[in-house]
Amino acid sequence: MKLNITSYERKNYLLKEKKDFIILSKIKALEKKNLDNKDKIIIKLIRTQLKDDWRTPLINSLNKLNIKYKK
């Protein structure tokens, strides 16, 4: 299977190991399916793990959850 990597992905994702390409190919396959909103959010978060600065998106997601469940 040939993986079409966009210029954005090539520029912003590390893609140093074979596993990075496996993750990206699975993400792209899932994005073609009819995912519900929660699964889309999970896929979006997983995508951020391929970035050099993966911590900031995690912090942002955790902040959103904290706001959502704030008492």
User: Are the C-beta atoms of 14 and 20 separated by less than 8 Å?
Assistant: yes
- Determine phi and psi for 40, rounding to 5 degrees: -65, -40
Domain ranges of the chain: 7-68
pLDDT of residue 1: 62
pTM for the structure as a whole: 0.85
Stretches where the chain sits below pLDDT 50 are none
